[in-house]
Amino acid sequence: MAGSPVVSALAETAAEYLRLRRLLGHNLDEHHRLLPRFVDYLDSIGAATVTVEAAVAWSTDGVDPATTNGARRMMIARGFARHLAGLDERTEIPPLGLIPMRQQWRPPFLFSATDIDTLMGAAGRRRWPLPSATYMTLIGLLVATGMRVGEALRLEPDDINHTDDVIVVRESKFGKSRLVPVQPATIAAIDDYLTARDRLLRVERTTSGVFVSSRGGPLIYPVVQQVFRHICDRNGIGTDAARPPRVHDLRHTFAVRVLTGWYQTGENIEARLPALSTYLGHRDPRSTYWYLSAAPELLAYAAAKLTHLTPAPASEIEL
How confident is the model over 283-315, as pLDDT tens digits?
A: 777 677 777 766 766 766 665 555 455 444 444
- Portion of the chain with pLDDT greater than 70, in percent: 82
3-state secondary structure of 277: helix
* Catalytic hit among 73, 83, 197, 251: 251
Pairing outcome for strands 178-181 and 160-161: unpaired
3-state secondary structure of 187: helix
Which parts of 154-248 fold into alpha helices (H)? 184-200, 221-234
Lowest mean pLDDT among 94-103, 126-135, 208-217: 94-103
* Catalytic hit among 21, 102, 126, 173: 173
**pLDDT, tens digit, for every residue of 22-52?**
766 566 778 888 899 999 999 999 999 999 9
Q: Is 291 labeled as catalytic in the residue annotation?
A: yes
Q: Is 257 labeled as catalytic in the residue annotation?
A: no
Asked whether the predicted pLDDT for residue 68 surpasses 60, the reply is yes
Q: Is 248 labeled as catalytic in the residue annotation?
A: yes
Question: What is the reported pLDDT for 145?
Answer: 96
Q: Is 305 labeled as catalytic in the residue annotation?
A: no
Cα-trace Rg, the chain: 22
Task: Please provide the average confidence, as pLDDT, over all residues in the chain.
Answer: 84
Question: What is the reported pLDDT for 314?
Answer: 45
- Portion of the chain with pLDDT greater than 90, in percent: 48
Are residues 246 and 272 in contact, defined by beta-carbon separation less than 8 angstroms?
no
Question: What is the reported pLDDT for 63?
Answer: 74
For residues 268 and 138, the model is more confident at 138
Asked whether the predicted pLDDT for residue 247 surpasses 90, the reply is yes
Q: Is 193 labeled as catalytic in the residue annotation?
A: no
State the average pLDDT over residues 233-237: 95
For residues 181 and 97, the model is more confident at 181
Strand partners of residue 161 = 166
**Which H or E element spans position 179?**
strand 178-181
3-state secondary structure of 292: helix
Question: What is the reported pLDDT for 2?
Answer: 47
Question: What is the reported pLDDT for 144?
Answer: 96
**Phi, then psi, of 181 in degrees rounded to 5:** -65, 140
Q: Is 176 labeled as catalytic in the residue annotation?
A: no
Are residues 189 and 140 in contact, defined by beta-carbon separation less than 8 angstroms?
yes
